[in-house]
Amino acid sequence: MTRFLLDQFNILADAPGGVQRLRELILQLAVTGRLEASIQPSNNTEYSNSWKFVHLESIIDLISGQHISQSDYNSQGRGIPYITGPSDFGEKHPIITKYTEFPKVTSKKCDILVTVKGSGLGKINLVNIPELAISRQLMAIRPKGVTIEFLYLFLKTKFDYLQSIATGIAIPGIGRKDILNLEILLLPLDVQKRIVEKVDSLMALCDDLEAKKTQKHAHLVKLGTGSLTALQQSTTQEELVRWWGYLQTHFGLIFDCVENVEALRQTILELAVRGMLGTGDERDEPAILLIGRIQSEKETLLSIRKVKPKAISEILQIISLKYSIPENWYWYRFGDVVFFQEGPGIRNWQFRKEGVKLLNVGNFVNGKLILTNTDKYISEEELNEKYQHFRIEEGDLLFASSGGSWGKTAWFVDPGYPVILNTSTIRLKFYSKTFDPGYLKIFLQSGYFRKQMELQLVGMQPNFGSTHLSRIYIPIPPIPEQSRIVEKINNLMALCDQLEQEIEHRSKNGVSLSNATIQQITGMT
Position 76 scores a pLDDT of 95
| Residues 512 and 471 grouped into a single domain | no
State pTM to two decimals. 0.78
Position 515 scores a pLDDT of 66
Position 5 scores a pLDDT of 61
Is residue 351 domain-resident?
yes
Measure CA of the first residue to CA of the last residue in the chain; give whole Å: 17
Is residue 3 domain-resident?
yes
State the amino acid at position 361 in one-letter form.
Answer: V
Helix ranges (H only) for 157-290 are 159-165, 176-180, 189-232, 237-249, 251-254, 258-272
Position 435 scores a pLDDT of 92
| Residues 73 and 176 grouped into a single domain | yes
State the amino acid at position 99 in one-letter form.
Answer: Y
The maximal CA–CA distance of the chain, rounded, in angstroms, is 100
For residue 321, give the nearest of 450, 419, 432 by alpha carbon.
450
SS (H, E, C) 158-174: CHHHHHHHCECCCCCEC
| Residues 220 and 243 grouped into a single domain | yes
The CA angle 39-42-46, to the nearest 5 degrees, is: 115
Question: What is the CB-side half-sphere exposure of residue 352 using CA atoms within 13 A?
Answer: 12
Position 517 scores a pLDDT of 62
State which of 186, 213, 229 marks the end of a domain: 186
| Residues 29 and 135 grouped into a single domain | no
Residue 133 and residue 85: Cα distance in Å, rounded? 11
Residue 79 and residue 180: Cα distance in Å, rounded? 31
Residue 114 and residue 180: Cα distance in Å, rounded? 12
Neighbour-count burial for 62-74, b at 16+ CB within 10 Å, e otherwise:
ebebeebeeeebe
| Residues 27 and 58 grouped into a single domain | no
| Residues 318 and 429 grouped into a single domain | yes
Position 407 scores a pLDDT of 87
Question: Helices 237-249 and 189-232: crossing angle, nearest 10°?
Answer: 150
| Residues 419 and 453 grouped into a single domain | yes
Position 209 scores a pLDDT of 87
| Residues 227 and 157 grouped into a single domain | no
- Contact indicator for 165, 116 with CB cutoff of 8 Å: no
Residues 6+ apart with CB under 8 A from 111: 63, 126, 127, 140, 141, 142
Is residue 309 domain-resident?
yes
- Contact indicator for 392, 420 with CB cutoff of 8 Å: yes
| Residues 95 and 204 grouped into a single domain | no
Is residue 323 domain-resident?
yes
Position 278 scores a pLDDT of 85
| Residues 411 and 354 grouped into a single domain | yes
Position 45 scores a pLDDT of 45
Position 151 scores a pLDDT of 96
Is residue 242 domain-resident?
yes
State which of 147, 162, 186 marks the end of a domain: 186
Give every residue of the chain whose pLDDT is below 70, as ranges.
1-13, 36-50, 296, 305-307, 309-311, 459-460, 510-511, 513-525
* Number of domains the chain contains: 3
Is residue 228 domain-resident?
yes
State the amino acid at position 30 in one-letter form.
Answer: A
pLDDT digits (tens, 9 = 90+) for 266-308: 999 999 999 998 888 999 999 998 887 777 677 777 777 666 7
For residue 290, give the nearest of 449, 489, 466, 475 by alpha carbon.
475
Residues 6+ apart with CB under 8 A from 39: 33, 187, 191, 194, 195
| Residues 57 and 138 grouped into a single domain | yes
Is residue 443 domain-resident?
yes
For residue 351, give the nearest of 332, 328, 377, 380 by alpha carbon.
377
| Residues 472 and 329 grouped into a single domain | yes
**Domain span including residue 172:** 52-186
Give the single-character DSSP code of 287: G
- Contact indicator for 134, 62 with CB cutoff of 8 Å: no
Q: What is the CATH number for 163?
A: 3.90.220.20
Is residue 191 domain-resident?
no
Position 47 scores a pLDDT of 47
Surface-to-core class of residue 289, CB atoms within 10 Å of its CB (0-12 exposed, 13-18 middle, 19+ buried): exposed
